[in-house]
Amino acid sequence: MTALQINPGQLTLAQLRASLAEGAQLRIDPAAAAGVAASAQWVRRAADGEAAVYGVNTGFGKLANQRIAHADLARLQLNLLRSHAVGVGEPLEPRVVRLVLLLKAASLARGYSGVRQEVIDVLLALYNQGITPVIPCQGSVGASGDLAPLAHLSLPLIGEGEVLFKGERMPAAPALKQAGIAPVKLSAKEGLALINGTQVSTALAIDALLACDRLFEAAVISGALTLDAARGSDGPFDPRIHAVRGQPGQIACAAAYRALMAGSDIRKSHLENDDRVQDPYCLRCQPQVMGACLDQMRHAAQVLVREANAVTDNPLVFEGELVSGGNFHAEPVALAADGLALAIAEIGAITERRIAMLVDTVVSRLPPFLTPEPGLNSGFMIVHVTAAALASENKSLAHPASVDSLPTSANQEDHVSMATFAARRLQPMLKNTAHIVAIELLAAAQGIEFLRPLRSAPELEGVLRLLRSVSPAMMQDRSLARDIEAVHHLVAAGDIGHAIESQIPELLALKLQ
């Protein structure tokens, strides 16, 4: 069981990764309590005062000019949660919802939202007791906060809505009772603080980012294995080439390829007899393409970690003053998610090109379609078609979501980010690309079979052993569907990277910080 103490405003990517572990337990730094209490006190004063304060004693959105009687302020917050819980679609994955609970608690605990400590405590209790609110995945435009999904997250705090608990979907009230958690009675502004914010889109994007890290590592390794199978040149990975360009991701990737390929007997066997002047781009330009993707991923990581630490509801409390603004607009998340989508699509695109190269005997100088008896056997012919279909699908999914905007709330909310969809569509893209990488690993391993008894680099031989543990070489046609799924599982779980036996500093540099 992982115990994590959260210091509001200081969450790290490593902590966010650890929070996804099964059974992780959260605790907020007690030092945050004073700021939370002071902020809540200022909201109570505003609620008791005569001045109109948005979200405290007024309606919401286009109805902000409607003044609410003091006797109805608690009911106002209840109505807000109930009216906004209108999401549709399949429920979000429990791991994502747990991350939303963490992000919402950490944001409120910074002491600018005007909620009481009891609200934060119940969010943490849900997380620590394994009670997962059921959140439909569709219904947010990523501005004014993730209103609908956060309303579904928040209903269980008051004993309403649905949750997953002990493997069962059930109404929230009996789940809270079983866990010994008392529902919260909301005070002024607390409903608004709960549903206003970017925590759902941010959690979806971070969940994808962490999976992208494992995918990227596997794709670098599969590319190195293909380079060896195709007997490609070492020249394009010369550190001097990459130093004069100066792109940090490219430099790191070139170093990783050099380290992965060091000591290959296959490479030694053809260095003096290779009559090819230059390799195809899918081999030669791997550091440039993958390095650009790595830089994009690292930029997205910076943006998303900042957003994980942000206060994104409205209005905010600053030393007694409640100030309205627009931190709920998720444009930073939308653009970061769109950047990740492009990187994921490009990883898949160049991987598919390497598979196409391997099955083309003219370019690879391997048997046609990687089978010893072409014609009688089709080999990897249609496996490549599957990879091409997935790469093409990713091209459509990679269209930027952030360039779209539909006005809502009677044109009060007239520009929105579409960040929630931008982040939600990343998981299907990751799955597509992980399958493409799995296919390349199988194809490259098959190519190496035709070069035996020569051995690949020691690091890559470890990967080959792992692949052969789930998929034997294919010298006669058989269905590779199960083999693809088995290797896809290795890619998604990060096992391809774990097959690298030594601690190569250049490879470790590829990890997101």
Active site residues: 54
d(CA 27, CA 438): 39
Other CB atoms within a 10 A radius of the CB of residue 263 amount to 15
Is the C-alpha dihedral spanning 108, 113, 117, 123 positive or negative? negative
Nearby residues of 199 by Cβ (< 8 Å), 6 or more positions away: 100, 103, 104, 107, 146, 150, 312
Backbone angles phi, psi at 294, to 5 degrees: -65, -45
Q: Which residue stretches of 4-72 are H helix?
A: 13-19, 33-48
Measured in whole angstroms, how far is the alpha carbon of residue 1 from the centre of its chain? Answer: 23
Nearby residues of 401 by Cβ (< 8 Å), 6 or more positions away: 334, 337, 338, 341, 418, 419, 421, 422, 425
Classify residue 156 by its DSSP letter. Answer: G
Q: How many CA atoms lie within 13 A of 213 on its CB side?
A: 20
d(CA 496, CA 193): 42
CA distances from 500 to 227, 283, 458 (A): 17, 21, 9
d(CA 88, CA 149): 9
d(CA 333, CA 400): 12
Classify residue 116 by its DSSP letter. Answer: -
Q: Which two tokens stand for residue 74?
A: 């608690």
Q: Which two tokens stand for residue 373?
A: 């008896």
Q: Which two tokens stand for residue 178?
A: 């079983």
* Nearest in space to 187 (alpha carbons), one of 19, 390, 47: 47
* Nearest in space to 222 (alpha carbons), one of 381, 5, 386, 459: 459
